[in-house]
């Protein structure tokens, strides 16, 4: 037992800026489970740690940075497709349950750890040395995600530049890559020829024997932008157009990240606010087209048969985590730049609400466009063979021919997607860079070494990303997209919540939160933190064994996905 004189000892914790100094007695530490050694740190060193890292100049900067990180292309590329696949409106039930029971509590927990410790992912061992591997797992998953996420940005960049023409190349069937099965929406009921068609590509060619009727946007995406080889084992040639777009996307990331994470405020606000405004504009434009109500009804009407399927709950879990971005390390990194006394509880809740609202709006936009496509072609919306990543790059571009000034609409649409993806990519890249930078000796933590780290990340990312610019790149993309950041995130979330709640201790978390904000967490937070690992374990059981065949890939690629 501590002596009476030892209990009366105090430690002064000095805080940066407007943070008042608070005297915290060792008796409080003993009651909460802390040892005296935990708080016997020099106050000057405590303050200097914050000065070295820097802080957000405004609470709005932090909030918009987190919002830009959470709201990204996953809201457009993944969420509408999952709703389309899992019975329409019934998908909202498991999705919202996972958001409020698991995702929000883990987001808040990650914010607490980041703000209290002022640590990035690779420094997670400072909190619980036994679970240092959790930080490394976050780092590795983020690295893989950045690599394949950037290829989506390159698609968007290519579409954006392709839209700067008088006539959209994916708005008609008079191109060299079009097959006899190409039909615009107005020509959909015409007879399809069954002749074999050869499409020139670089120095070779692609033989297309499948003459199923397709829209110009589908053929543009599959046969020109991707130039699909038809098999993951046939790597094919590098598409130099996509390669240049990939380099351009990495150059944009490098230019912004060369500055400190707390500097590019204007970039943060633009990449968050502008896409929201444009999304509302596109929703209004879609609603004015005939047939959009078909898509809206399907999006909102529940198919109750899907609610009992395990895959629906698995997709809801993975999408909730992928969209909000917990367990990637980005939230922890952004929170580490917070002022120590900042109240982050309201931010965690608001971020979840706005991210869910964004997913809902994007789902209306994409499914509304599917309704228009169904109305004009006469094909029931449930039978439209559009899924996966191509949903956004095929479904909505088909509508541009129905709108006046189609190239302008197309350019604005892909600019919106670029801003959405750019904001998330910036934070994930910053998370990696900050993690490596914090591992360096303090004498080496300067802009010169940050420049070296940025350069290495961009060079390595560009080289590895060339795999996805090959003719088989889309298959490798789907492989990583479904293995690297789905099941892995659930596993990390389980161990993260277990380590903090049961090893670090819920009492310590309560004291830490009260020390920072003045209020203890409510019963909702404690009950969610205790229940989250078990809820995620039940959800994770349905993820394995993973059915690789549903991606259209051979079963031999399953071990590769498991290794990832």
Q: Could you give the residue ranges of the DSSP H alpha helices within 378-446?
A: 390, 406-439
The answer on whether 419 is annotated among ligand-binding residues is: no
The CA distances from residue 321 to 46, 273, 347, 350, 484, in Å, are 33, 22, 17, 16, 13
Domain extents in the chain:
55-179+214-563
Q: Which long-range contacts (CB under 8 A, 24 or more apart) does 301-310 make?
A: 301/88, 301/89, 302/87, 302/88, 302/89, 302/90, 302/93, 303/87, 303/88, 303/90, 304/87, 304/90, 305/87, 306/86, 306/87, 306/90, 306/91, 307/87, 307/90, 307/93, 307/94, 309/86, 310/542
323 labeled binding residue: yes
- Residue 234, SS3? coil
71 is in an annotated binding site: yes
Show Cβ contacts of residue 168 under 8 Å, excluding neighbours closer than 6 positions: 162, 397, 400, 401, 406, 407, 410
Torsion, CA 431, CA 435, CA 437, CA 443, rounded to 10: 140
pLDDT on residue 186: 63
pLDDT at 26: 31
Q: Where are the alpha helices (DSSP H) in 378-405?
A: 390
State the Cα angle at 380 between 363 and 282, rounded to 5°.
30
Gap between the Cα atoms of 223 and 221, Å rounded? 6
* pLDDT number for residue 250: 93
Rg of the chain's alpha carbons, rounded to an integer? 25
- 23 forms beta bridges with 12
* Whether 445 contacts 52, CB under 8 Å: yes
pTM across the whole model: 0.81
Provide the pLDDT for residue 558.
55
Task: Report whether 431 contacts 142 (CB < 8 A).
Answer: yes
SS3 call for 21? coil
What is residue 187's predicted lDDT score, i.e. its pLDDT? 63
Say whether 208 counts as a known binding-site residue: no
Q: What is the pLDDT of residue 126?
A: 81
pLDDT tens, N- to C-terminus, the chain (564 residues): 433 333 333 223 333 333 333 333 333 343 433 333 333 343 344 445 555 567 888 888 889 889 988 888 878 878 888 888 888 889 999 999 999 999 999 999 999 999 988 888 888 888 888 888 999 999 999 998 899 889 999 999 999 999 998 888 888 888 888 888 787 766 665 444 444 444 444 444 444 444 567 788 888 998 899 888 877 778 888 999 999 999 999 998 888 777 655 455 667 788 888 888 988 998 998 898 888 899 899 888 888 888 888 888 888 888 888 888 888 888 998 998 888 888 899 999 999 999 999 999 988 988 888 888 888 777 788 777 565 566 778 877 877 877 788 889 899 989 988 988 888 888 888 889 888 888 877 766 777 788 888 889 999 999 999 999 998 888 888 888 777 767 788 889 889 999 998 888 888 899 989 888 888 898 999 999 998 888 888 765 555 444 444 455 555 555 555 555
Write the class of the CATH domain 55-179+214-563: mainly alpha
Give me the pLDDT at residue 197, please.
Answer: 44
Six token digits for residue 183: 């039909």
Residue whose C-alpha is closest to residue 117's, from 388, 307, 340: 340
Return the bridge partners of 561, or none. none
Per the annotation, does 5 bind a ligand? no
Write down the pLDDT at residue 209: 46
Residues 387, 85: contact at Cβ < 8 Å?
yes
Residue 238 exposed, middle or buried by CB count within 10 Å (0-12, 13-18, 19+):
middle
Spell out the alpha helix ranges (H) of 325-344.
Answer: 330-335
CB 173 within 8 A of CB 216: yes
**What's the length of the chain?**
564
How many C-beta neighbours within 10 Å does residue 545 have?
7
The two structure tokens encoding residue 15:
């805080």
In angstroms, the CA 457 to CA 452 distance is: 9
Would you put residue 291 in left (φ > 0), alpha (ψ -120 to 50) or beta?
A: left
3-class secondary structure, 24? strand
The pLDDT value recorded for residue 264 is: 54
Q: How far apart are alpha carbons 347 and 513 in whole angstroms? A: 14
68 labelled binding-site residue = yes
Q: In the numeric block, which tokens belong to residue 537?
A: 């374990």
Q: What is the DSSP letter of 130?
A: G
CA distances (Å), origin 148, targets 81, 184, 408: 18, 31, 28
Q: What is the pLDDT of residue 172?
A: 82
* 355, 269 Cβ separation under 8 angstroms: no
């Amino acid at each position: 037992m501590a002596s009476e004189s030892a209990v009366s000892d105090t430690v002064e914790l000095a805080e940066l800026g407007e943070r008042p100094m608070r005297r915290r007695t060792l008796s409080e530490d003993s009651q909460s489970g802390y040892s005296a050694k935990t708080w016997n740190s020099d106050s000057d060193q405590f303050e200097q740690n914050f000065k070295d890292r820097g802080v957000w100049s405004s609470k709005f900067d932090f909030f918009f940075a987190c919002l830009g990180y959470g709201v990204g292309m996953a809201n457009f590329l993944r969420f509408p497709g999952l709703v389309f696949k899992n019975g329409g409106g019934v998908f909202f039930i498991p999705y919202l349950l996972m958001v409020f029971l698991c995702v929000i509590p883990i987001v808040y927990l990650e914010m607490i750890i980041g703000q209290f410790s002022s640590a990035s992912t690779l420094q997670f061992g400072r909190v619980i040395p036994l679970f240092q591997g959790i930080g490394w797992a976050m780092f590795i998953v983020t690295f893989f995600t950045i690599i394949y996420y950037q290829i989506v940005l390159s698609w968007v960049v290519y579409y954006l530049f392709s839209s700067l023409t008088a006539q959209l190349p994916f708005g008609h069937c008079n191109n060299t890559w079009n097959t006899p099965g190409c039909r615009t929406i107005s020509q959909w009921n015409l007879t399809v020829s069954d002749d074999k068609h050869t499409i020139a590509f670089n120095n070779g060619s692609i033989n297309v024997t499948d003459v199923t009727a397709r829209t110009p946007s589908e053929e543009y995406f599959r046969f020109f932008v991707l130039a699909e080889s038809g098999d993951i084992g046939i790597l094919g040639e590098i598409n130099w157009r996509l390669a240049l777009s990939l380099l351009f996307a990495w150059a944009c990331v490098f230019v912004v990240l060369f500055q400190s994470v707390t500097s590019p405020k204007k970039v943060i606000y633009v990449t968050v606010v502008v896409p929201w405004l444009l999304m509302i504009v596109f929703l209004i434009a879609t609603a004015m087209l005939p047939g959009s109500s078909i898509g809206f009804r399907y999006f909102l009407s529940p198919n109750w048969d899907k609610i009992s399927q395990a895959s629906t709950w698995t997709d809801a879990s993975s999408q909730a985590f992928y969209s909000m971005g917990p367990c990637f390390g980005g939230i922890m990194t952004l929170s580490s730049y917070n002022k120590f006394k900042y109240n982050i509880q309201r931010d965690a809740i608001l971020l979840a609400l706005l991210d869910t609202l964004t997913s809902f709006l994007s789902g209306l936009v994409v499914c509304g466009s599917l309704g228009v496509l169904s109305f004009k072609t006469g094909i029931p919306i449930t039978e439209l063979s559009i899924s996966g990543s191509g949903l956004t790059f095929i479904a909505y571009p088909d509508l541009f021919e129905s709108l006046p000034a189609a190239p302008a609409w197309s350019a604005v649409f892909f600019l919106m997607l670029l801003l959405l993806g750019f904001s998330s990519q910036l934070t994930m890249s910053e998370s990696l860079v900050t993690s490596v930078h914090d591992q360096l000796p303090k004498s080496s933590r300067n802009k010169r070494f940050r420049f070296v780290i940025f350069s290495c990340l961009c060079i390595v990312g560009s080289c590895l990303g060339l795999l996805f610019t090959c003719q088989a790149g889309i298959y490798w993309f789907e492989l990583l997209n479904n293995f690297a950041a789905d099941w892995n995130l659930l596993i990390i979330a389980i161990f993260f919540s277990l380590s903090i709640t049961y090893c670090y201790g819920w009492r310590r978390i309560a004291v830490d939160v009260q020390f920072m904000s003045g209020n203890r967490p409510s019963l909702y937070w404690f009950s969610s933190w205790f229940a989250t690992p078990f809820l995620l374990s039940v959800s994770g059981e349905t993820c394995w064994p993973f059915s690789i065949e549903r991606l259209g890939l051979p079963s031999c690629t399953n071990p590769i996905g498991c290794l990832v």
